[in-house]
Amino acid sequence: MRKSKLSLFKSTSMLISVVGIIMIVATIIVVAYVGYSMVSSGITNEISSGTQYDELAELKASYTNLSVKFDSIKATYYAGSSDDIQTYNNAKIELARADSAIQNVQSALDANIPSNEVDSRIVFAKQKLDAAYDAYNTL
């Protein structure tokens, strides 16, 4: 009877040790996977944000160029009739909307918003800038 209790104790002890080792190995694998995911996600986000900053710089340059064009023709329209002034002001509003969209992209990048959201804001800013160019071309 004593021998069977000792054998049962040994087998139970061995089973607990094996299960413990399996759990430790599984925990290490899970922690390594989570760490790898976080590092690779961080690298991908850094690459995306670098491209997004380049696109933001292009948007700002285009906006500045268009703003200079608007300022150069301002006197011509303000010297004309009230319809000319209204047409110019409507086009200038489109320029202000483009500026607002560009500032929205800047704030999204500053706040580390996910790259897909920043990309959608960049597309929206490009649309607004295109609308401002169209408004300028109709002047």
pLDDT band at 132 (very low <50, low <70, confident <90, very high): very high
Number of domains in the chain: 1
For 99-110, write each residue's pLDDT tens digit: 999 999 999 988
CA 87 → CA 2, 54, 77, 81, distances in Å? 104, 33, 8, 10
For 13-57, write each residue's pLDDT tens digit: 888 889 999 999 999 999 999 988 887 766 665 556 778 889 999
Q: Helix H segments across the chain?
A: 2-78, 82-110, 115-137
Enclosing domain of residue 23: 2-137
